[in-house]
Amino acid sequence: MVNFYVRNADGAIEVLLEDNVQIGLQSRVQRGGFEARRIEFKMGDKQFSYDLPQNLYVKRTFKDAEAIRQWEERGRRPIMDGKLYLDPIPDQLPTLEKPWIAGRFIREHGRFMEVQIGEEVFQIGTQGHDGQHRIMGLLSQKDIKPFVQQAFVHGKMEGDVFHASEVCLRMLEDSEAQDDPNLGRYLFIGDSISGNYDKALRTALMGKLNIYHPPTNCGPVRKGVENIVQWLGAYDQPGLGWDVISFNFGQWDSANTNARYQDDLEKVIIELKKTKAKLIFVTTTPIPLGYPEPGELGPGNRASGRVQKTMERFINPWALEVMNRHPEIEICDQHALITNQKFYATWLAKAGFHKKGERNPYGDLHIGGLLGQPVGRQLARKVLDVLGRNNESLGSHGLSERELDPERQRPATENLDVEDFLDLLTNDQRLRNY
């Protein structure tokens, strides 16, 4: 195979595969999959399945001698960041000359692998980026598809070329196969809240845009800084550009400092602007009253954490200060819609924090089910508007009578006013008010 390129914050870097390169798969594996020696998962419309050999091996490399010493002083406790290998690896306890631990996989133990090294058994976690396992040797060089997959390469730089001893591929949907070439491309970036309104957003824009979300919970803005180049992909390649991008970072930044949060937002915006896409910032949804009382700023103007009014008092105002420096970025104010529409009143008043082992029937700060419908359609309306498609109607909400039946509602949406709710979903003016 000829050399290929990976993209990160430093730009495009040429990668040379060494003769003995290991090609691996990075994926979520259901518990018990390794003991059954079979991996199965679905990505889009594609089904992937792999049989594993009976003997599997685990290896974890230590950063330096100090890391080895700390591990030994802690009584050789479980460690993370290992990799699973199909090819045999000799037993190895870490030394200065060979700073890695390696042995044969025995069984799964929660998040860890039990690994036998000589007569001893150690626990090593093989979960990496986003909690996905790295399984080296499962794929071959022909499986590498530049500009489509996410690739994690390991090796060393020699001049301007990176010499890779290992390449781990994260399977993504083949955008060229999934895209309708007659439609524009839309990327929405956000944490688990964006997953809550994902279905409503996609339904409202069905047949209007090709819609994508990074294959991860986008988490705090620091994660955005570290991953935004990968999330944007090869947008300068034909057919892979973005027409519109919406983004939010907030819930995970509830205890961030003003300076760090704003500085990182600016770094993300720099990369977003390079795409030439229309940009939309989505304000962070409120924290319900079931969470602790509001707190004050901490050292370094640190926000008060996941308590009432943190988003209203700190995170959203800080974000909007940044957006005011970039007037071309449109605002979709999900916080305002939720706090001003009576449909959310019960959830706002009663959802919230619950002790370990206890479940609040009104939910937590997430807006699942019907709660995700209005904000999903609000964002969909904003997307079409920024593209100049103001006169184009949103797709049907697709909700059934059963889903709207007031007698079948969960506590958070009890006493549903169906007529008003449907008007909120379909009335463009109400959706545009925020």
Helix or strand (DSSP H, E) at 5: strand 4-8
φ, ψ for residue 125 (rounded to 5)?
Answer: -85, 135
Q: What three-state secondary structure class fits 277?
A: coil
| Contact indicator for 42, 173 with CB cutoff of 8 Å | no
| Contact indicator for 194, 218 with CB cutoff of 8 Å | yes
User: Tens of pLDDT along 233-276?
Assistant: 889 888 889 999 999 999 999 999 999 999 999 999 999 999 99
Establish if 365 belongs to a structural domain. yes
Q: How confident is the model at residue 147 (pLDDT cuts 50, 70, 90)?
A: low
**What CA–CA distances, in Å, run from 174 to 50, 170, 171, 374?**
19, 12, 9, 30
Joined together, the tokens standing for residue 160 give 């301007």
Q: Residue 155: give the domain boundaries.
A: 1-28+132-172
Clarify whether residues 15 and 145 are in a common domain.
yes
Joined together, the tokens standing for residue 17 give 């595969």
Clarify whether residues 278 and 381 are in a common domain.
yes
Establish if 50 belongs to a structural domain. no
- The contacts of residue 151 (CB under 8 Å, 6+ apart) are 6, 15, 144, 167, 168, 169, 170
Q: How confident is the model at residue 132 (pLDDT cuts 50, 70, 90)?
A: confident
Clarify whether residues 229 and 318 are in a common domain.
yes
What pLDDT shows up at residue 43?
A: 63
Clarify whether residues 124 and 261 are in a common domain.
no
DSSP track, 24-70 = EEEE---TTHHHHTEEEEEETTEEEEEE--S--EEEEE-SSHHHHHH
Clarify whether residues 88 and 150 are in a common domain.
no
Establish if 239 belongs to a structural domain. yes
Establish if 34 belongs to a structural domain. no
Clarify whether residues 140 and 240 are in a common domain.
no
Tokens 């937590």 -> residue: 364
Strands in 229-306 per DSSP E: 244-247, 278-282
- Final residue belonging to a domain, choices 75, 108, 131: 131
Clarify whether residues 377 and 260 are in a common domain.
yes
User: Tens of pLDDT along 26-59?
Assistant: 988 888 889 999 888 766 566 788 899 999 999 9
In this structure, what CATH number is given to the domain that contains residue 264? 3.40.50.1110
| Overall number of domains in the chain | 3
Compute the distance between CA of residue 284 and CA of residue 254 in angstroms, rounded to an integer. 10
Clarify whether residues 224 and 373 are in a common domain.
yes
- The contacts of residue 240 (CB under 8 Å, 6+ apart) are 147, 175, 176, 185, 233, 234
Clarify whether residues 155 and 219 are in a common domain.
no
Establish if 209 belongs to a structural domain. yes
What pLDDT shows up at residue 245?
A: 98
Establish if 151 belongs to a structural domain. yes
Establish if 115 belongs to a structural domain. yes
**Residue 13 CB burial class (10 angstroms; 0-12, 13-18, ≥19):** middle
Clarify whether residues 299 and 419 are in a common domain.
yes
Helix or strand (DSSP H, E) at 177: helix 175-178
User: Tens of pLDDT along 369-419?
Assistant: 999 999 999 999 999 999 999 999 999 999 999 999 999 999 999 989 999
Clarify whether residues 268 and 312 are in a common domain.
yes
Compute the distance between CA of residue 128 and CA of residue 118 in angstroms, rounded to an integer. 26
Compute the distance between CA of residue 164 and CA of residue 179 in angstroms, rounded to an integer. 31
Mean pLDDT over 296-304 rounds to 94
Establish if 330 belongs to a structural domain. yes
- Final residue belonging to a domain, choices 140, 172, 204: 172
Compute the distance between CA of residue 133 and CA of residue 29 in angstroms, rounded to an integer. 7
What pLDDT shows up at residue 160?
A: 86
pTM of the model: 0.81
Q: What three-state secondary structure class fits 82?
A: coil
Clarify whether residues 96 and 184 are in a common domain.
no
